[in-house]
Amino acid sequence: MDVLFDIADLKRVPGPLHLAIGVFDGLHIGHQAVINEAKTSAAENGGTPVVVTFDPHPVEVLSPRNTPRLLTAPVHKIRLLHQKFGISHVLVIAFHEEFAALTGEEFVEALVAAAPDSGIEKICVGENWEFGKRRSGNLALLQDLGEKLGFTVNGIETVEVNGLRVSSTRIREAISSGDFAIAKKLLGRDYTVVGTVIEGKKNGRTIGFPTANIDPHREQLPPTGVYAVTATGAGDGWNGVANLGYRPTVEEEKMRRLLEVNLFGLNFEIYGEELEIQFVKFLRPEMKFDGMKELKAQISKDVESARAVWA
């Protein structure tokens, strides 16, 4: 997997280039249509498909108060592109105020200037995608620049499911309400979050249920509660049970929501590892207990309920 962090690095990618450009938060079925067009073009005409995306999400820079929860943080997006969609080259452009000041034309010209000698063969985008300072770039501009600079353009039509437009916003709404079936239909895959295992208070070990505390990198999470989950990472995979919430039995006051997972059969430390978590089934709401003894008894029941999901 070759991850580029500077437009100038396109020079080292075997050309001609077939670019799929977009924010691609979630890599839902609409995003996949854009990416697959670049892959197909490269397979038919020779060259390399490259996914071009941005970090942070442009809204975080342009309108910070409206910054959405992510469906795929950068590490998650790169993992999916490689493992599920067969992409070997990704350009992650740092989106900051200086970059945001580029016009649509200046951005495209920078891509063309950085391309290898064989150039850019095709640029694929969603038909309604807008880019550049004050949204000065769109499909029409791309087509005009393509004629001028020697590349073709494909604007992919909006994908609809049940007559409704597929969008990252709709998927966030589905996840936040716990509707994993709708999310899966729009994503074209099971919804997962990727997070880093961080050190916690280790309360679980004292009652016989060690947990891995997960930092989900600002990704969209489902409703608070206890879930049967699967986890992959550190070269292995596990079934388990997760608590997503505020841990009212052990915390004196509400904090930010925490995600902690008890993974069945895990017998080694995984601090610092990236785990991909799938919420398989909601088991119960989060509850406050009178003490650790009652909490331990309930966790035992939760483990049995989670194991029954895979029985």
Quote the number of domains for the chain.
2
pLDDT at 258: 87
Residue 132 zone, left/alpha/beta (φ > 0; ψ -120 to 50; rest): left
Q: Which residues contact 145 (CB under 8 A, 6 or more apart)?
A: 105, 108, 109
Identify whether 183 is part of a domain. no
Instruction: Report the share of the chain in percent with pLDDT over 70.
Output: 93
In a domain, 184, yes or no: no
More confident call, 249 vs 10: 10
| Model pLDDT for residues 121-150, shown as the tens digit of each residue | 999 999 999 999 988 899 999 999 999 999
Considering the domain architecture, whether residues 37 and 85 belong to the same structural domain is answered as yes
Q: Considering the domain boundaries, does residue 177 fall inside one?
A: no
Please report whether residue 182 resides in a domain: no
pLDDT at position 204, please?
47
| Alpha-carbon gap, residue 60 to 152, rounded angstroms | 31
Q: What is the CATH number of the domain that holds 231?
A: 2.40.30.30
Asked if residue 160 and residue 303 are part of one domain, the reply reads no
Residues 199, 131: one domain? no
**Is residue 160 located within the same domain as residue 25?**
yes
**Residues 157, 216 within the same domain:** no
Residue 203: pLDDT band (50, 70, 90) is low
CATH of the domain at 98: 3.40.50.620
Average pLDDT on 252-275 reads: 81
pLDDT in tens, 77-92: 999 999 999 999 999 9
168 close to 67: Cβ distance less than 8 angstroms: no
Averaged pLDDT score across all residues of the chain: 90
Q: Could you tell me the residue range of the domain that residue 82 belongs to?
A: 2-169
In-domain check, residue 27: yes
Based on the fold, state whether residues 137 and 204 are members of the same structural domain. no
- Predicted confidence at residue 173, as pLDDT, reads 96
